Amino acid sequence: MNKIEVVNDVIVKKNLDDAFTLVVDEGTEFLSVNQLKITVKKNATLKVFYHGTKPSKLNIVIEVQPNQKLRMEEIRFNQNVKVQYQYRILDGACVTVNRMSSSHHKRQWDLVYLNGKNAQFSLCESTIASKEQHNHVLIYHNASHTKSFLNFRGITVEEGKIQLSMTGIVEQGMNHCKLEQNAEIVGMNDQVSEIEPMYVVEEDKTVQAVTNTNIVNTMPQNVTMRQFLMGNVTFTKEFQHKIEKEIKELEVSYES
């Protein structure tokens, strides 16, 4: 099983087979951010578990070689974290990310570069915000016949609010690209969340771009918090058990 466990910005456990190459660049006095560089050489699944005890920053670069598939399962319990992902996806490669997070202050970037023909990227994320969260997803379609899909669900509690920015860019001359953005936030408090979708697409009839967003102050009828959050992501039993406590505490507090 391929797994990385991170506490703050340091890898404390890892178990990787030959599908991956991992290089760790520790921060310096000039650039005080630890960076993980991961190269995916074979079809593989990677589990990533974060736990935060103090404010931290982390930069993660993932390159997926041609015609390989990466599936990521990620859960994150942090107090205050800034994380930037860079995905570099080459010809015929595919990345699927399922992410669940529960945090106070959070600032997160997902920078996606679809650099090869038929490259694909999919991100399904569910999050619980008890203070302010900033989520930025920026996807560059740098080649033709590329696809991107984003599905985001968030719940705000206590002093939480979510600022979500989603941008899809199709570079000039690229055609037959498909972009889809879906986002829904349920506010269980009186804070104001925002969703900012955007497409930057050159005039081309072959490009398909679809956006659906929704911000509401009540949970959809006959839907529990667990169903809302877990209906958006898919995890193995190991990770499902880790987040059951987080959701169960919410249900007791807000659905009793």
For residues 89 and 189, give the distance between their C-alpha atoms in angstroms, rounded to a whole number: 39
Query: How confident is the chain (256 residues) per 10-residue block, as mean pLDDT?
Result: 87 93 72 83 94 83 97 84 92 96 84 98 94 94 97 93 96 93 95 95 87 91 87 83 71 59
- Identify the three-state secondary structure at position 61: strand
For residues 161 and 104, give the distance between their C-alpha atoms in angstroms, rounded to a whole number: 10
| pLDDT value at residue 29 | 44
Q: Tens of pLDDT along 119-164? A: 999 999 999 998 899 999 999 999 999 999 999 999 999 899 999 9
Which residue's structure tokens are 């930025």?
136
Q: Is 114 exposed, middle or buried (0-12, 13-18, 19+ CB in 10 A)?
A: buried
| pLDDT value at residue 254 | 60
CA angle 148, 243, 89 (to 5 degrees): 25
| pLDDT value at residue 250 | 66
| pLDDT value at residue 236 | 82
Q: Which amino acid type is present at position 84?
A: Q
For residues 115 and 95, give the distance between their C-alpha atoms in angstroms, rounded to a whole number: 13
Q: What's the whole-model pTM score?
A: 0.92
| pLDDT value at residue 52 | 79
Structure-token pair, residue 210? 């679809």
| pLDDT value at residue 253 | 62
| pLDDT value at residue 30 | 44
For residues 52 and 170, give the distance between their C-alpha atoms in angstroms, rounded to a whole number: 36
Helix, strand, coil percentages for the chain (3-state, nearest 5)? 10, 60, 30
